[in-house]
Structures are given as C-alpha cells and as structure tokens.
C-alpha cells in the first residue's frame, strides 16, 4: 500500500526532522500547524498544510483521512493555560485517534518521554506533562490502531546519525538523545512489523550506529499492561 503520512507537531524541533525525512523519501505528507505561514516557510510546497489548533478544532478528520502513518510529536507551549498539556498532549491525541475513519489502517507513531511511568519523577513540572503524556500513550495503546510509542531521553539539537541509539523498556534508565535521532527511530518504525505494539525508551550512547533496524525493534517486548 502506498504510504501517506500526517504529522502533528510538524513545525517543532523534532517534528521538522520527521517531515524532512518523509519528504526525502517522497512520502506524501500532511502537516498540522496553528501557524500555516510558519509551516509554509519551513516546508514550502512539499507538504499539505492543515491549519488547526489541537485545543480549538472539533476533529482532525481532514488531517488523518487516508493516512497510513500518523506521527505525533506535538507538545503544549504552556503549563497551565487554555493550551496546557492536558488539552494539547492528551486531548489532542485522543481527538486525532477518534478522527481516523472506521476501517482505515493507520500506524500511530507517538513521541512520548522517559519518566512517564515513574511514581515520583524528580522533575515535577507544573501542569504535569509526564502524567498527560502517559495518558496519551494509554489512549493509543487502548485504541484499535497499530502503534509505536517512542520515549526519548532528554532532547538535544545535536546532529543525528553520529552516536549509537539504544532502546530500553521499563522506564528505569536515563540519558540524552538528539532530536534528529528520535525522528530517525520514528521513521524506521514505519518500515517494520516488529515496531508495532512496542513502547520503549531511546538514548544516545557511544558506539556503532544501528545497522539492523528490524533487530532493534524485534528484541523489544510488546506492551501488555494498559493501566
Ligand atoms: N525537553 C525534553 O528533553 C523532552 C524529552 C522527551 C520528550 N519531550 C517532549 O517531546 C515533544 C516534542 O518536543 P520538541 O522540543 O520537538 O517540541 P517543540 O519544538 O516545542 O514543538 C512543539 C510542536 O507542538 C505543536 N503544538 C503546540 N501546541 C499546539 C496546539 N495547541 N495545537 C497544535 N499544535 C500544537 C507546535 O506546532 P505549531 O506551533 O506549528 O502549531 C510544534 O510543532 C514535546 O511534547 C516535549 O514535551 C521533551
């Protein structure tokens, strides 16, 4: 089946790498942004731009119609206001999932975060972003859709493809990762059945680059706990 992708958070510091990689692969891309002129400046005529604020829009049918892959790398700008984490990160994700037409096969590839499963995270941010990211994960895990949930460590803007990427499960670890490498993992997830149903953390470490992405995904367990 021909791939068609939609990207939430497309203009973000990670989302832009996702979009650029999709364009390089000649995969048709639809992007959501509150600011279409920003998206146009970033991506030119290479993408279809859907203007919309996740808090304000009723549904996202125009964004997700016919897409085989839905990438979500959005995140609230504000902690406690009208556009807080609860409404952007969680309710926005739910809106997108609900907007996928019945019977449409869509693989949801979600950018979450490390620390979402820890009881008392050391960084107790106002607005509880980690709690709402976990709730967004759960809405995806419980949906009818195939999914891959990528939980990056602390993000940086280093060039991707320079360090090894490791994947772990259980949310016990800690580390940093380049946003471009997060995008690379999310793009690779498109290509492998072994990436589906997987929730995992990713970090950069010193060492050889990942050569076999099927092995990278295959050694991870499928999620069974949906609490
Ligand atoms: N900081 C860390 O170390 C860390 C670690 C792990 C995960 N994370 C999470 O990873 C995610 C991506 O991070 P990033 O730095 O790449 O993000 P970013 O640069 O802050 O980009 C956020 C994106 O979300 C979109 N967005 C925000 N509010 C929106 C709304 N109301 N409606 C529609 N779109 C909205 C923005 O789109 P427009 O402006 O175009 O509308 C933008 O494209 C965030 O959720 C972040 O919390 C962060």
Residue among 59, 75, 182 whose CB has most ligand 1 atoms within 8 A, to mutate: 75
| 3 state SS for the chain | CCCCEEEECCCCCCHHHHHHHHHHCCCCEEEEECCHHHHHHHHHHHCEEEECCCCCCCCCHHHHCCCCEEEECCCCCCCCCCCCHHHHHHHHHHHHHHHCCCCCCCEEEEECCCCCCCCCCCCCCCCCHHHHHHHHHHHHHCCCCEEEEEEECEEECCCCCCCEEEEECCCCCCCEEEHHHHHHHHHHHCCCHHHCCEEEEEEEECCCCCCCHHHHHHCCCECCCCC
Range in 42-56, 117-131, 133-147, 180-194 with the lowest mean pLDDT = 117-131
How much is the pLDDT for 227?
47
Q: What is the distance in A from the centroid of ligand 1 to the CA of 64? A: 19
pLDDT over 90 at 147, yes or no = yes
Q: What is the distance in A from the centroid of ligand 1 to the CA of 89? A: 9
Residue ranges around ligand 1 (CB below 6 Å): 9-15, 32-35, 38, 53-55, 73-77, 83, 88, 111, 113, 129, 152, 154-155, 179
Residue nearest to atom 18 of ligand 1 (CA): 12
Determine how many CB atoms are found less than 10 A away from the CB of residue 23.
16
Q: What percent of the chain has pLDDT over 90?
A: 90
pLDDT over 60 at 226, yes or no = no
Residue nearest to atom 24 of ligand 1 (CA): 74
Q: What is the distance in A from the centroid of ligand 1 to the CA of 214? A: 28
In ligand 1, the atom with minimum distance to the C-alpha of 154 is 3
Give the pair of three-digit tokens for residue 64. Answer: 């997700």
Residue nearest to atom 38 of ligand 1 (CA): 33
Q: Could you read off the pLDDT of 71-96 as tens digits, one per residue?
A: 999 999 988 888 899 999 999 999 99
Q: pLDDT grade, residue 161 (50/70/90)?
A: very high
Q: What is the distance in A from the centroid of ligand 1 to the CA of 202? A: 18
Radius of gyration of the chain (CA): 16
Mean pLDDT of 99-104: 96
Q: State how far the Cα of 12 lies from the Cα of 94, in Å rounded to an integer.
A: 20
Q: Judging by beta carbons within 10 Å of its beta carbon (0-12, 13-18, 19+), is residue 125 exposed, middle or buried?
A: exposed
Q: State how far the Cα of 115 lies from the Cα of 201, in Å rounded to an integer.
A: 9
Give the position of tokens 């068609």: 4
Fold assignment, 5-218? Rossmann fold (3.40.50)
């Amino acid at each position: 089946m021909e791939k068609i992708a939609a990207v939430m958070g497309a203009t973000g510091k990670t989302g832009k790498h996702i979009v650029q990689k999709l364009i390089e692969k000649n995969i048709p891309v639809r992007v959501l942004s509150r600011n279409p002129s920003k998206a146009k400046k970033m991506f030119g005529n290479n993408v279809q731009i859907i203007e919309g604020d996740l808090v304000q829009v009723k549904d996202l049918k125009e964004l997700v119609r016919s897409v085989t892959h839905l990438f979500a790398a959005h995140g609230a700008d504000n902690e406690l206001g009208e556009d807080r984490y609860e409404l952007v990160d969680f309710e926005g994700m739910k809106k997108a999932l609900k907007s996928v037409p019945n019977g449409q096969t869509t693989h949801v590839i979600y950018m979450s975060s490390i620390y979402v499963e820890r009881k008392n995270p050391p960084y107790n941010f106002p607005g509880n972003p980690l709690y709402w990211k976990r709730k967004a994960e759960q809405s995806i895990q419980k949906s009818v859709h195939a999914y891959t949930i990528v939980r990056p460590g602390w993000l940086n803007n280093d060039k991707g493809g320079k360090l090894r990427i490791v994947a772990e499960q259980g949310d016990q670890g800690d580390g940093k990762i380049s946003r471009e490498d997060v995008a690379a993992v999310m793009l690779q997830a498109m290509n492998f059945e072994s990436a589906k149903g997987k929730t995992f953390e990713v970090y950069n470490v010193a060492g050889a680059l990942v050569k076999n992405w099927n092995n990278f995904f295959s050694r991870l367990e499928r999620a069974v706990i949906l609490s």
